[in-house]
Amino acid sequence: MCLAAHVLEFLRWTPGSVKLLLPPRHSRGASYGRLGQRKLVHFSEIVCDQAIVKSHAYLFTGDTQVIIYSRWDRSPNLVEAQVTYPIVTAMLGAPKVKAVRGQTDFGDSFVYVVFEEGTDIYWARSRVQEFLSTVQQKLPQGVQTELGPDASGVGWVYQYVLTDSSGKHDLAELRSLQDWYLRYHLRSVPGVAEVASVGGFGKQYQVNIDPNRLQQYGLSVQQVVAAVRESNEEGSGRVVEFGATEYMVRGRGYIQSVEDLGEAVLSTDESGAPIRIRDIGEVTLGPDMRRGVADLDGRGEAVSGIVVVRYGENALEVIERVKARLAEVKAGLPPGVEVTGIYDRSNLIREAIATIRSTTVEVMITVSLIILIFLWHVPSAAIPVVTIPLAVLISFIPFRLLGLSANIMSLGGIVLAIGALVDAAIVVVEQSHKKLEIWDRGGRKGDFREVVIAAIQEVGRPSFLALLVISVSFLPVLALENQEGRLFRPLAYTKNLAMIVAAVLAVTVDPALRMSLLYMKNFSFRPAWICSIVNTVVVGRIRQEETHPLSRILFRVCEPAVRWALRRSGLVIAVSLVAMAVTVPVFLRLGSEFMPSLDEGSILYMPSTMPGISVTEARRIL
């Protein structure tokens, strides 16, 4: 599972921020950065008890899943019995549900509702919300339940870090800028499902109670909690009429400062004097309990933000919109505070698209050079330059209609197909030249167009069927199911679509271009040197194989080897069988699974540690 899936499946949602949790029963530190850049962000997440088409880089192969997160400050056993278990049993009756998994941490409950393949994510979320409404009334008072973001396991597409070059802002202030400024601006960007905050300190009002004074006044901690909760409320009354105007009556009670909270009344003493919170303790601004640490380049702690793209959105477009929004909001940051990107998946997406572009150009150049070298005919070499990119472009039409995204697997299918797209073009041009060579040797009797048409008809059907056979060879991949099917089906779809388009072009566009670009009569005009160049490029000359120097060398080398193999056919077959048998031990050691490695060019540093590691120790390790 990739790191993005870890983040999404173990998000902790709170009103002010998003805390990241790694998988259960593991305490890990992680660092993330880009090769070739001096940007490296370290993360340490502590788990106490548990833990044109749309352009994407990674293909999401997981099931349709909806995460239900519940928060209740109780022990794991109590949360499991009164929160996790009722939600899990309620979700078992939802339609198209394949599995329901529950995990419980101290004060946290995670329920993963997995749906059948092909289920729409938003239909699944609406069903979960519907069944969740029936069980929420049975949950204990104080339980806060919500759904996770509508994102996939590969939605982590962009990450940035806040740095302060002036040294005037501490980690708490940077975290406040992230949570209350940047986060809301980025959440409004179309296509963004979640913006997670990592590192820094979350500000909170803290009441440090003096037990002696609390006992002196005969108060309990529950009374202090109730007073704090009730002190941050506003009241409203009716209206008061003065003259011809009505004035609304309201009581303003929202906390604006530490002093406001300290003036909240707990009770009264025997003389009727109020007992305030500041009388039984001290009210201060302090950091929230941290569940993670972020470090930048080993220079100290930093505050970072992770942008998660919404399910089914174009990742490349969302990243560009996020960058544009960051450029807009930079003007509102304090002097010295900068936002620097440390992970950008658009680089990988563009590299994948550039691979197709470069492969297509390389194939066009290679095929054209081969035709020029062996046939010395410029018009014939120009035809693949048109048909190859045309086949790739036309294949994107059904590609889009099927709802496929441009990821490394689907684009890889096109790259694989490009190598076979040139087969029919080379066969047709070679057959046409051979027939024209015979026609020229026989005195050029009849129209050369009829000779070309006959040559194309002779090899057109076999070429068309040969490309279809190559396409059929990938059809078993379409029978794969679950994660294997979701991983390899896009590759099979795109390769087959490109091959089918190339087969159709081989019997339609290719003959039409050949008839339009083929001239057998030289032009005659002045100046003579320009006429010679035009005749060489536009008309060309049909040369015999026997007169071509490279063909003569190949005949001289290959003919003896072919004759020797035909005379000793039994020996050749026996040697081939022995060579195949030698590969059997290697084949048996390959294993049942084979997945090619993907080097994205990014570094992920995630050391494993003992469960229960403290934030201080995690920071030391990083």
For position 82, what pLDDT does the model report? 93
Decide if pLDDT at 538 tops 60. yes
User: How many whole angstroms from its chain centre is CA 191?
Assistant: 13
Output 44 or 527, whichever has higher pLDDT. 527
Decide if pLDDT at 80 tops 90. yes
For 406, which DSSP code?
B
Helix axes 408-441, 509-517, angle to 10 degrees: 40
Output 253 or 333, whichever has higher pLDDT. 333
| Weakest mean pLDDT among 25-29, 207-211, 610-614 | 25-29
Decide if pLDDT at 231 tops 50. yes
What mean pLDDT, rounded, does the chain reach? Answer: 78
| Weakest mean pLDDT among 101-110, 214-223, 544-553 | 544-553
Output 519 or 135, whichever has higher pLDDT. 135
For position 602, what pLDDT does the model report? 67
Decide if pLDDT at 126 tops 90. yes
For position 59, what pLDDT does the model report? 56
Decide if pLDDT at 352 tops 90. no
- Confidence class of residue 131 from pLDDT cuts 50, 70 and 90? very high
Q: Answer whether 542's CB lies under 8 Å from 377's CB.
A: yes
Q: Interior CA angle at 139 toward 138 and 145, to 5°?
A: 125
For position 38, what pLDDT does the model report? 28
User: What gap in Å lies between CA 416 and CA 420, rounded to an integer?
Assistant: 8
How many other CB atoms sit within 10 Å of the CB of residue 261? 22
Q: Answer whether 264's CB lies under 8 Å from 277's CB.
A: yes
Domains, the chain, in order of start with CATH, read 206-287 (3.30.2090.10), 349-542 (1.20.1640.10)
For position 578, what pLDDT does the model report? 93
Decide if pLDDT at 22 tops 50. no
For position 590, what pLDDT does the model report? 65
pLDDT tens-place string over residues 112-124: 999 988 888 899 9
Distances (CA, A) of 276 to 221, 225, 266, 487: 13, 13, 5, 63
Mean pLDDT of 95-113: 90
Q: Interior CA angle at 46 toward 45 and 49, to 5°?
A: 140
For position 487, what pLDDT does the model report? 75
Q: Answer whether 593's CB lies under 8 Å from 10's CB.
A: no
| Dihedral sign (CA 224, 225, 226, 229) | positive
- Tokens found for residue 605: 């540093």
Distances (CA, A) of 45 to 291, 309, 390: 6, 22, 50
CA atoms within 13 A on the CB side of 490: 23
Q: How much of the chain, in percent, has pLDDT values that exceed 70?
A: 85
In the block, residue with structure tokens 């802002």: 169
Output 15 or 77, whichever has higher pLDDT. 77
Mean pLDDT of 423-449: 78
Q: How much of the chain, in percent, has pLDDT values that exceed 90?
A: 16
Spatial CA neighbour of 112 closest among 137, 92, 142 = 92
For position 47, what pLDDT does the model report? 28
- Confidence class of residue 16 from pLDDT cuts 50, 70 and 90? very low
| Weakest mean pLDDT among 11-25, 341-355, 580-594 | 11-25
Decide if pLDDT at 51 tops 50. no
- Strand-pairing partners, residue 31, are 42, 605
141-175 core/surface letters (b: 16 or more CB in 10 A; e: else) = eebebeebbbbbbbbbbbbbbbbbeeeebebbbbb
For position 21, what pLDDT does the model report? 29
Q: Answer whether 532's CB lies under 8 Å from 549's CB.
A: no
Spatial CA neighbour of 69 closest among 112, 9, 110 = 110
Decide if pLDDT at 310 tops 80. yes
For position 86, what pLDDT does the model report? 92
| Weakest mean pLDDT among 105-119, 469-483, 569-583 | 469-483
For position 365, what pLDDT does the model report? 80
Mean pLDDT of 319-340: 91
Where on the phi/psi map is residue 36: left (φ > 0), alpha (ψ -120 to 50), or beta?
left
| Weakest mean pLDDT among 53-57, 110-114, 217-221, 281-285 | 53-57
User: What gap in Å lies between CA 446 and CA 431, rounded to an integer?
Assistant: 18
Q: Interior CA angle at 486 toward 484 and 490, to 5°?
A: 115
